[in-house]
Amino acid sequence: MGQVASNVARYCVALLLVCVAAAPAFAEKRKVEIKHANFWRSLKRGDEVINRLVGNVLLLHNETTMTCDSAYVYPDNHFEAFGRVVVTKDTTWLFGDYMDYESSTDMGKVRGRLVTLLDGKMRLRTQFLDFNTADNVAFFFNGGVIDSEQNLLESKQGYYYSNQKLAIFVNKVEMRNEDYRIKSDSLHYLTEQDIATFFKQSYIWHDDGFLSFRQGYYDKANDHFFMSNHVYMMNDKQESWGDSAHYYRSQKEGEMFGNVQLYDSTQHAIALGDYAKLYEDRDLAYMTKEPAGALFSDNPKDDTMFIKADTLLVRRTANTDSATMMADSTRKYMHAFFGVKFYHPDVQGACDSLTYNAIDSLGEMFYNPILWNKENQLTADKMEIFQKNNELHRLDMIDAGFITSQDDSLKSYYNQVKGKLIVAHFEQNDLYKVDVFGNGQTVYFLRDSLKLTGTLNATSADIFFYIKNRNIERMNYVTKADSKIIPPKDINVKELTLKGFSWQQDRRPKSRYDITTRSIQPSIRQQSLGVEPPKYVVTERIEKIKNAFFPPKELVR
């Protein structure tokens, strides 16, 4: 942020100097001095005497030298200059065909087929330019173009403050250089520092994408944009929104602040938060400050999954597996770290960290993972989630797998399945088959027409059972099972609670608003593609002007 403060401070100082320079001058007005003319003739018009000057005319006022082919100097020190008009002061040169100069106001009006103002590396071209020799301020209207070694700017009207090397453009401002095309309605440009400051709605096009904002600045030397107030950025892969942003194009890095949204249509992912860091060349973005994510599919009928964590990271990495290189050149990932929770109408979850691979539709949950599906609570040391057709397809519960569901009628009774490895199978997001491998244990409350008939308590190395309508339909044991059915009168809930049991409904998200209350900005890609780019009509008109009085070649870059 130090660079931001420096640029803002530098700009504010320049603007303050402009205001001081523009204050009324109270010094005594000096007369126009006639320094030279090849021919001098006095003409009488009524009671006035008018001086007619012809050939190599040289006039001086406010330490400003003015030359022309001929001139009329009036008694009130107002004069008109004709033919090859040149005005010079300090580093500024001004060229035109005609000038009307009023010494009492220090104001000159230069006109011509092409009026050109030079100041160092800056060149202003127009057909209508007024200037003040005391304040060294010029004003153009009906179209003007400023160009330097790096940038070209045009607008309907604008000002140039020579002392501060500051150009102010208003009304249909358009700018371009080798990297950008820019359109705005108000822009201040420090010509020596190559810094442009924007004050109204602005649009920027570049080879990699599109930018939109209402305030900000562009520091060309550092290839740095600062944007604020309704910031929008777009490239072929992503759309981004925020309250403010920094963008370093040469480094292909950006930062966004406040109400940030990253929308990746290719990855079917949205990230929300108050801070984001973007690395374009690495296809990497991470988000902090109450971040949340949304994963969606192309099918509008599918529900969106919302996820939150302390940090979200979205990235693409090159696929280095030669066997799969032909199928897909990249793998897309979302990583969530610390305090992870997610919500989908059919499945919810919580863990300490999560990784999601969009290509393989594989999610991995680490450190105290827990997943809820309908009435089932599933826990393990680690979980791997497999999707198919945007639905939950399989869940591998690795080490200390535990499935728990609460009995519908007796809330203190819990159905339980435990094993070293549990593979849960889903169809249309409903659990229908469970495979238990290693030290399988089961406690299940049996019912007949909702009436409790007993409890099945079974132990086996491996157990496979099928579920229909939320009831066990069939159960298979790979090895001989140690099982028994306990009648209702002998049920002791404490004795039927398996080791590791933990009912954690208080951790379960109830809706997407338990994940985030942030709203999602819909894509505006098509609207942005429809924004009319700059046409540079003033520049085109100026470039077509021929047979005009141009500055000497030694003054032109």
Please tell me the predicted confidence (pLDDT) of residue 556: 63
Total-model pTM: 0.79
**b/e code 4-21 from CB counts within 10 Å (16+ = b):** eeebeeebeebbeebeeb
Q: Which two tokens stand for residue 11?
A: 């700009």
- The sign one gets for the Cα dihedral 86, 87, 90, 91 is negative
- Residue bearing tokens 């550092």: 222
C-alpha dihedral (385, 389, 391, 394), degrees to nearest 10: -40
- Residue bearing tokens 């599933």: 378
Nearest Cα neighbor of 414 from 500, 341, 508, 476 is 500
Q: Tell me how far the alpha carbon of residue 70 is from its chain's centroid.
A: 57
Contact between residue 101 and residue 78 where contact means Cβ atoms under 8 Å apart: yes
**Spatial separation of the C-alpha atoms in residues 90 and 200, rounded to whole Å:** 33
Please tell me the predicted confidence (pLDDT) of residue 77: 82
Q: Could you tell me the CA-to-CA distances from 403 to 30, 153, 286, 473, 502 in Å, in that order?
A: 97, 67, 34, 17, 10
**Spatial separation of the C-alpha atoms in residues 101 and 110, rounded to whole Å:** 8
Q: Could you tell me the CA-to-CA distances from 280 to 214, 336, 421, 522 in Å, in that order?
A: 23, 20, 40, 22
Q: Which two tokens stand for residue 204?
A: 């920027």
C-alpha dihedral (256, 358, 282, 205), degrees to nearest 10: -60
Nearest Cα neighbor of 192 from 215, 160, 214, 170 is 160
Burial class (CB in 10 A: 0-12, 13-18, 19+), 502: exposed
**Spatial separation of the C-alpha atoms in residues 330 and 327, rounded to whole Å:** 9
For the chain, 557 residues long, give each residue's pLDDT as a single digit of tens.
444 444 444 444 444 444 444 444 333 457 899 999 999 998 887 788 899 999 999 999 999 999 999 999 998 889 999 999 999 999 899 999 999 999 999 999 999 999 999 998 889 999 999 999 999 999 999 999 998 777 899 999 999 999 999 999 999 999 998 889 999 999 999 988 889 999 999 999 988 789 999 999 999 888 899 999 999 999 887 899 999 999 888 888 889 999 999 988 777 788 999 999 988 777 788 889 999 988 887 776 677 889 999 998 887 654 444 333 233 444 567 789 999 999 999 899 999 999 887 666 778 899 899 999 888 899 999 999 988 877 888 999 999 999 998 887 777 888 889 999 999 999 888 888 999 998 888 888 887 777 888 888 888 888 888 887 766 777 777 777 788 888 888 888 777 889 889 999 999 999 999 999 998 989 999 999 999 999 999 999 999 998 787 777 667 65
Contact between residue 260 and residue 241 where contact means Cβ atoms under 8 Å apart: yes
**Number of Cβ within a 10 Å radius of residue 376:** 20
Largest CA distance in the chain: 132
Q: What angle do CA 287, 289, 291 make, to 5 degrees?
A: 55
Nearest Cα neighbor of 501 from 410, 379, 409 is 379
**Spatial separation of the C-alpha atoms in residues 370 and 279, rounded to whole Å:** 32
- Residue bearing tokens 């079974």: 458
Question: One-letter amino acid identity for 238?
Answer: Q
Q: Could you tell me the CA-to-CA distances from 548 to 54, 114, 122, 506, 539 in Å, in that order?
A: 21, 6, 19, 82, 16
Contact between residue 411 and residue 388 where contact means Cβ atoms under 8 Å apart: no
Q: Which two tokens stand for residue 156?
A: 């309907």
Q: Which two tokens stand for residue 368?
A: 């105290």
**Spatial separation of the C-alpha atoms in residues 379 and 401, rounded to whole Å:** 6
Contact between residue 307 and residue 342 where contact means Cβ atoms under 8 Å apart: yes
Contact between residue 185 and residue 192 where contact means Cβ atoms under 8 Å apart: no
Domains, the chain, with CATH or none: 1-25+112-219+523-546 (2.60.450.10), 28-105 (no CATH), 227-510 (2.60.450.10)
Nearest Cα neighbor of 137 from 117, 104, 155, 160 is 160
Residues 6+ apart with CB under 8 A from 288: 273, 274, 275, 276, 310, 311, 312
- Is residue 526 classed as helix, strand or coil in its secondary structure? helix
